[in-house]
């Protein structure tokens, strides 16, 4: 047995009947930022909450602002994103599997390990604050264990831990890059398959996917130009979308920007903007007045489509299955020529004959992992099969609702081949639809490969990994 193993701290007995909150006479001081981060990690684990929804609510409720809010955000998102990597390090430091430990202790350890490995927070502060947190949340009896575990973690930096724990890059590049960029292996494999590469490009894609994304705004066509929006917000006109603005990091809460408050602009990834714009760019012969967005909630693309429809004299029907999301569409598209329908897109009851249809199908979201910190660890490979069935059914329903010669644009926020080429290839074959070269409808965008589909990537385009295919109904 090597020295490393001999010095592993022992874990507290899980079955020991220790009362919670037993502890010192004076309650330990836990700083508000770390307490919020801990509470969010716990909500994500216990009730499948979304970190990016819970965190802002808690910050508001507890009136945490400024540097404390920034620290809470960094710790919450960072520890969520890096969970698999942190767990591997913690496992290596413990003498029993992490799954046997009290989950509250594991939440605290993840926060502590994140601070030690991926921030510049001094070791004494990272360890001390985590011990305080564990004492306050679980009880004094775990402090020795937490302290010993984190001291062990702090013996190496992230690079040294990775050298010890990550697979060999030459023998297992997917496993190595997955671990080094805190991705589950199956997600890394799906990126490799979509890129057709398990070398430098896969590494670049996973690294880009492990960084915090820039905020993009969309200027509502006919209301404000991208140049004006950039000037007002201090951002830069986006490189590809004619309506996009990219904000500098640390620009504050984009919801506070005046054009956003006045609904002249909204937050929307540039890749999503490009897909919505592509719907309107496909040449049509004949009528061009009835547009349909078949999976429209919460309404980001519907709002852009609605504004463009308004300028060209068309109208949009927006379908959404979830009533609360349908209400969000109504809010996002107020004043635009859009009618919202709460219905299942597979049997919407709408009258066929649409000229342009968008199917922005429910998907694994593997293309937007940067924005949903915990999603990469929550999603499972088995989820994809259920989704592809639904995606295929929605695409068939969309083609049924389209007039001959009309077009259907199929979009998913995922590069997973089963959800992209797999679904489109099969349905196009079955319905004898013509697959158009979608690259033509993304005219300013470089590095789009050989077509006919478009796959955007964070490392190539600075956008989410959106996929877009365009079919013409025979
Ligand atoms: C990827 S999201 C759409 C995002 C939206 N287009 C936007 O840009 O804001 C997919 C949406 O489809 C909805 N959905 C799921 N199953 C559906 C179905 N069978 N029919 C219609 N909508 C469905 C989901 O509730 C979700 O709001």
Token couple for 384: 């994809």
The whole-number pLDDT of residue 253 equals 78
Same domain, 284 and 401: yes
This prediction's pTM = 0.91
Same domain, 139 and 226: no
Going by alpha carbons, the residue nearest to atom 26 of ligand 1 is: 297
The residue written with tokens 């009290």 in the block is: 102
CA of 299 to the centre of ligand 1 (A): 9
Q: What is the domain count for the chain?
A: 4
Which numbered atom of ligand 1 lies nearest the CA of 393? 19
Same domain, 319 and 453: yes
Measured between alpha carbons, how far is residue 86 from residues 107, 113, 143, 166, 306 in Å?
Answer: 11, 6, 19, 12, 44
Which numbered atom of ligand 1 lies nearest the CA of 297? 27
The sign of the torsion formed by the CA atoms of 58, 72, 207, 153 equals negative
Going by alpha carbons, the residue nearest to atom 12 of ligand 1 is: 295
Token couple for 364: 């694994």
Residue among 241, 278, 291, 297 whose CB has most ligand 1 atoms within 8 A, to mutate = 297
First vs last Cα of the chain: how many Å apart? Answer: 69
Same domain, 109 and 202: no
CA atoms within a 13 Å half-sphere pointing along the CA-CB vector of 325: 17
Question: Alpha helix (H) ranges present in 13-141?
Answer: 32-47, 51-61, 66-81, 83-93, 103-118, 123-137
Distance of CA 264 to the CA centre of its chain: 25
The whole-number pLDDT of residue 255 equals 82
The ipTM estimated for the assembled molecules is 0.99
Residue among 362, 394, 409 whose CB has most ligand 1 atoms within 8 A, to mutate = 362
3-state helix, strand, coil in the chain (%, to 5): 50, 10, 35
Q: Which CATH number do you get for residue 79?
A: 1.10.940.10
Same domain, 254 and 277: no
What range does the domain containing 178 cover?
166-209
CA of 368 to the centre of ligand 1 (A): 15
Which member of 275, 363, 413, 468 is catalytic? 413
Same domain, 304 and 381: yes
Same domain, 119 and 203: no
Q: Which CATH number do you get for residue 387?
A: 3.40.50.150
CA distance 32 to 315: 49
The whole-number pLDDT of residue 249 equals 75
Query: What DSSP assignment string belongs to 339-393?
Result: EEEES-GGG--PPS-EEEEEEE-----GGGTTTSTTHHHH--TTHHHHHHHHHHH
Binding residues for S-adenosyl-L-methionine: 295-301, 320, 344, 360
Which numbered atom of ligand 1 lies nearest the CA of 298? 9
Is the bond preceding 231 in cis, omega lying within 30 degrees of 0? no
CA of 386 to the centre of ligand 1 (A): 15
Which numbered atom of ligand 1 lies nearest the CA of 358? 6
Residue among 266, 279, 296, 341 whose CB has most ligand 1 atoms within 8 A, to mutate = 296
Distance of CA 102 to the CA centre of its chain: 28
Same domain, 312 and 419: yes
Same domain, 253 and 320: no
pLDDT per residue rounded down to tens, the chain (474 residues): 333 333 344 444 443 434 444 444 455 678 999 999 999 999 999 999 999 999 999 999 999 999 999 999 999 999 999 999 999 999 999 999 999 999 999 999 999 999 999 999 999 999 999 999 999 999 999 999 999 999 999 999 999 999 999 999 999 999 999 999 999 999 999 999 999 999 999 999 999 999 888 999 999 999 999 999 999 999 999 999 999 999 987 767 788 889 999 999 999 999 999 999 999 999 999 999 999 999 999 999 999 999 999 999 999 999 999 999 999 999 999 999 999 999 999 999 999 999 999 999 999 999 999 989 899 999 999 999 999 999 999 999 999 999 999 999 999 999 999 999 999 999 999 999 999 999 999 999 999 999 999 999 999 999 999 999 999 999
CA of 297 to the centre of ligand 1 (A): 5
Same domain, 340 and 465: yes
Q: Is 413 a catalytic residue?
A: yes
Going by alpha carbons, the residue nearest to atom 1 of ligand 1 is: 362
Which numbered atom of ligand 1 lies nearest the CA of 362? 10
* H or E, element range at 411: strand 402-412
Same domain, 292 and 388: yes
Same domain, 288 and 174: no
Pocket of ligand 1 (CB under 6 A): 272, 295-301, 319-322, 325, 344-346, 360, 362
């Amino acid at each position: 047995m090597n020295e490393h193993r001999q010095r592993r701290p022992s874990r507290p007995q899980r079955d020991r009947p220790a009362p919670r909150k037993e502890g010192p006479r004076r309650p330990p001081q836990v700083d508000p930022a770390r307490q919020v981060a801990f509470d969010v990690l716990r909500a994500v684990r216990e009730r499948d909450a979304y970190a990016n929804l819970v965190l802002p609510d808690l910050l508001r409720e507890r009136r945490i602002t400024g540097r404390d809010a920034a620290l809470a955000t960094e710790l919450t998102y960072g520890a969520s994103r890096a969970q698999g990597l942190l767990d591997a390090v913690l496992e290596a430091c413990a003498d029993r599997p992490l799954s046997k430990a009290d989950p509250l202790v594991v939440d605290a350890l993840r926060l502590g390990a994140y601070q030690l490995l991926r921030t510049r927070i001094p070791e004494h502060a990272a360890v001390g604050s985590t011990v305080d947190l564990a004492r306050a949340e679980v009880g004094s009896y775990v402090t020795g264990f937490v302290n010993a575990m984190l001291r062990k973690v702090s013996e190496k930096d992230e690079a040294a831990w990775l050298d010890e724990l990550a697979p060999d890059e030459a023998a297992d590049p997917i496993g190595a890059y997955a671990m080094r960029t805190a991705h589950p292996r199956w997600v890394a494999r799906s990126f490799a398959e979509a890129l057709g590469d398990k070398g430098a490009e896969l590494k670049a894609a996973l690294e880009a996917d492990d960084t915090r994304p820039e905020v993009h705004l969309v200027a509502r066509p006919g209301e404000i130009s991208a140049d004006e929006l950039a000037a007002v917000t201090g951002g830069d006109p986006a490189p590809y979308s004619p309506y996009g603005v990219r904000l500098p990091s640390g620009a504050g809460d984009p919801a506070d920007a005046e054009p956003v408050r006045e609904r002249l602009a909204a937050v929307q990834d540039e890749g999503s903007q490009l897909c919505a714009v592509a719907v309107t760019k496909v040449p049509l012969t004949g009528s061009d007045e009835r547009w349909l967005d078949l999976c429209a909630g919460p309404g980001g693309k519907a709002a852009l489509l609605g504004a463009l429809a308004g300028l060209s004299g068309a109208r949009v029907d927006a379908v959404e299955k979830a009533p609360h999301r349908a209400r969000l569409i109504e809010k996002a598209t107020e004043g635009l020529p859009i009618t919202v329908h709460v219905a299942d897109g597979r049997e919407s009851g709408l009258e066929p004959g649409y000229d342009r249809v968008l199917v922005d199908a429910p998907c694994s979201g593997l293309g937007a992992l940067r924005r949903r910190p915990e999603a990469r660890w929550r999603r499972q490979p088995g989820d994809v099969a259920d989704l592809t069935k639904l995606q295929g059914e929605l695409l068939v329903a969309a083609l049924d609702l389209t007039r001959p010669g009309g077009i259907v644009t199929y979009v998913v926020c995922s590069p997973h081949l089963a959800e992209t080429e797999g679904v489109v290839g099969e349905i196009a074959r079955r319905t004898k639809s013509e697959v158009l070269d979608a690259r033509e409808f993304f005219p300013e965008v470089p590095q789009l490969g050989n077509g006919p589909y478009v796959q955007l990537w964070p490392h190539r385009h600075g956008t989410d990994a959106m996929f877009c295919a365009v079919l013409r109904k025979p």
